[in-house]
Amino acid sequence: MQSHAADNENNIASNQPRSPPAVGEEKWKPQPQRNNSNNTSAGSSLLNSPIPEKERQNIAERLLRVMCADLGTLSVVSGKEFVKLAQSLVDNGARYGAFSVTEILGNFSTLALKHLPRMYNQVKVKVTCALGSNACLGIGVTCHSQSVGPDSCYILTAYQVEGSCIKSYVLGIKGVDIRDSGDLVHHWVQNVLSEFVMSEIRTVYVTDCKVNSSAFSKAGMCLRCSACALTSVVQSVLNKRTLQARNMHEVIELLNVCEDLAGSAGISKETFGSLEETSPPPCWNSITDSLLLVHERYEQICEFYSRAKKLNLIQNLNKHLLSNLAAILAPVKQAVIELSNESRPTLQLVLPTYVKLEKLFTSKANDAGIVSKLCHLFLEALKENFKVHSAHKVAMILDPQQKLRPVPPYQHEEIIGKVCELIHEVKESWAEEPDFEPASKKSRTPSESSPTREEDRSGKSEVYDYLQEPLFQAAPDLFQYWSCVTQKHTKLARLAFWLLAVPAVGARSNCVNMCEQALLIKRRRLLSPEDMNKLMFLKSNML
């Protein structure tokens, strides 16, 4: 791969027209006054600038024209990369004299795209080396789908532990028709992964509801996005056709009133503010947000509409039912927010979340009236849509603050068995990574590395030894904890560094924006699909 990148670079160099050599970014050494962080010094340097004020105004006017042409450049023109570009042009002018940019450099887009393959290969080598140097058993891979009209965009992201934090790499972006089969997407995913990840690296896939997960399950463990699962739980219960079929007309009326209130000018964020600083992932249900917003700001809404003398909407609001529904839906939304946290591991929270919501719905199912019916529906929807897999169970036990505490005792042996099964499945790869083996096992011969009952018993013994240790009272840094106990709990540490890097939610905060940009490029035909993928890859992984 490195030679391929070098060939690209040589071809570009040979086809380059004769022109003044560009000053490389690494060769540019700014003057001391440009790097001065003191505002006073910066201001005085501008006053003493050799450029006349009239020329500065011309430059400012051209910058404003660039901003007006595309408002997305507002942050670009003040960024460090734009400043470096401007500095390179100034340095070239100082070195070679005044010259026409269009005659020497040609079209800027053409020039940039000509060097796109070279930069793509350079960054690709770095990402491949980072994923290849991973000492863990495997990685996590999310496949997120974003649709706009008939177009759909898929974004593939890899996750692994580096040091004590989770590092993510966007591997590919592909625009496809929404009618394309899941097998087509699966083949694309496998082709992309084959370029970055060695075949022996184990993969856990996390897909959202728009991605056909059946094809992925053939290649490894495939989990559904937990936020999508909880959204499906809410949608299946609060679906207006379902409610109408069950004669729950008061719930339909409440949802309609909340939607009207939330969509009106009187309940805008500017008037009452937002509910929380942390927003849920894009797959979360907006109808639920409308209901929770009305419940949270009920007193302010009543005051607002009473002053406006428009009490007809408030009078149609069933306050008792609103409070009961909010008490059910608020924990669901909070669970989605916790599961979509991007700063710490989340896979270990999936099973405890299921148990917590199951207890909530069961406790309220004994209430009288319509709330009881709704909670029975929520229980059915939770069991049908929120699937808990072996990876979720093993990840939970790898959290020293939780271990087996969130689940009832009759499930303990089953979960311990899942951990031992996974240890047995992956133990063959441990012989290839001696750094993770205890000292007593480093000297074993190839014949002794074959699976034996004694090793199986040692794996189970390690699990029980770990479980007998006291629980952590405060939430620990999971990767720091497992780094400290690697020699003591070798097999479990290997599982922890792999599984705890897998996110519980497939859609991250930057996925939506990137997919929308990719679809915009596709609709406007600004770039070929291949160049679009390379450019978005650089955008995600170059910095």
Q: How far apart are CA 239 and CA 368, in angstroms?
A: 22
Provide the b/e sequence for 372-399 (b: ≥16 CB within 10 Å): ebbbebbbebbeebbebbbbbbbbbbbb
Q: What average pLDDT does the segment 322-339 reach? A: 93
Mean pLDDT of the chain: 79
In this prediction, residue 392 carries a pLDDT of 96
pLDDT, greater one: 528 or 441? 528
Residue-level pLDDT at 464:
93
**Please, which pLDDT band fits residue 27 given cuts at 50, 70 and 90?**
very low
Residue 455 inside a domain? The answer is no
454: number of Cβ within 10 Å: 9
What residues does 172 pair with on adjacent strands?
156
The more confident residue out of 206 and 12 is 206
296 with 361, same domain? Answer: yes
In a domain, 457, yes or no: no
Q: Is residue 8 part of a domain?
A: no
For 395-410, how does the pLDDT look when each residue is reduced to its tens digit (9 = 90+)?
A: 999 999 999 999 999 9
pLDDT reported for residue 437: 40
If one compares 196 and 218, the residue with the highest pLDDT of the two is 196
- The verdict on residue 7 lying in a domain is no
Above 90 in pLDDT, residue 213?
A: no
In sequence order, what are the residues at sequence separation of 6 or more whose Cβ sits closer than 8 angstroms to the Cβ of residue 50?
none
Q: Which of 153-167, 252-266, 286-300, 468-482 has the lowest mean pLDDT?
A: 252-266
Confirm whether 2 is domain-assigned: no
Verdict on whether the full-model pTM lies above 0.85? no
CATH classification at residue 130: 3.30.420
Reduced to 3 states (helix: H, G, I; strand: E, B; else coil), residue 264 is coil
Query: Could you tell me if 479 and 500 are in contact, meaning their C-beta atoms sit under 8 angstroms apart?
Result: yes
- Beta strands in 149-291, from DSSP E residues, in sequence order: 151-162, 165-177, 202-207, 221-224
The pLDDT value given to residue 452: 54
Let me know: does 201 contact 139? Beta carbons within 8 Å: yes
For residue 525, the tally of other CB atoms under 10 A from its CB is: 7
Residue 6 belongs to a domain: no
Beta carbons within 10 angstroms of residue 249's beta carbon: 11
Q: Tell me, yes or no, whether 96 and 68 share the same domain.
A: yes
Instruction: Determine the pLDDT at residue 445.
Output: 45
Beta strand 138-148 with 151-162: parallel, antiparallel or unpaired?
antiparallel
Our count of domains for the chain comes to 4
Q: What is the pLDDT of residue 73?
A: 66
In this prediction, residue 273 carries a pLDDT of 52
User: What SS3 class is residue 26?
Assistant: coil
Give the Cα separation of 500 and 166 in Å (integer).
Answer: 9
Exposed, middle or buried by CB within 10 Å (0-12, 13-18, 19+), for 453? exposed
Q: Are residues 323 and 249 in the same domain?
A: yes
Low-confidence winner among 48-57, 130-139, 316-325, 517-526 (lowest mean pLDDT):
48-57
Residue 177, phi-psi category: left (phi > 0), alpha (psi -120 to 50), beta (remainder):
beta
Residue 30 lies in a domain: no
- Ranges 53-57, 401-405, 420-424, 538-542: which has the least confidence: 53-57
**pLDDT for the residue 474:** 81
pLDDT at 395: 96
Q: What's the pLDDT score for residue 179?
A: 62
Alpha helices in 48-115 (DSSP H): 53-69, 80-96, 101-105, 108-114
Higher pLDDT, 479 or 440: 479
Residue 87 C-beta-side C-alpha neighbours within 13 Å: 17
- Residue 406 and residue 291 share a domain: no
Residues 203 and 272 in one domain: no
Asked if residue 510 has pLDDT above 90, the reply is no
Residues 192 and 258 in one domain: no
DSSP three-state, residue 275: coil
Span 269-301, pLDDT tens digits: 545 555 455 677 777 866 788 899 889 888 888
pLDDT greater than 80 at residue 139: yes
Q: How far apart are CA 489 and CA 483, in angstroms?
A: 10
- Mapping DSSP to helix (H, G, I), strand (E, B) and coil, where does residue 236 land? helix
One domain for residues 403 and 314: no
Tell me which residue range forms the domain holding 177: 112-224+512-542
pLDDT of residue 393: 95
Query: Which one, of 99, 105, 122, lies nearest residue 22 by Cα?
Result: 105
- 503 and 534 belong to one structural domain: no
Residue-wise pLDDT for 99-108, tens only, equals 777 777 777 7
φ/ψ (deg, to 5) at 375:
-70, -35
In this model, does residue 163 exceed pLDDT 70? yes
Whether residues 204 and 285 share a domain: the answer is: no
Q: What is the pLDDT of residue 219?
A: 61
pLDDT of 357 higher than 90: yes
pLDDT at residue 480, as a whole number: 93
**Is 234 found in the same domain as 208?**
no
Residue type, 263: G
Looking at the structure, tell me whether residues 145 and 288 fall in a common domain.
no
Residue 48, domain member (yes or no):
no
Average pLDDT on 509-538 reads 84
pLDDT of residue 505: 92
pLDDT of residue 315 exceeding 60, the answer is yes
Q: Both 244 and 381 in a single domain?
A: yes
The neighbouring-strand residues paired with 145 are 154
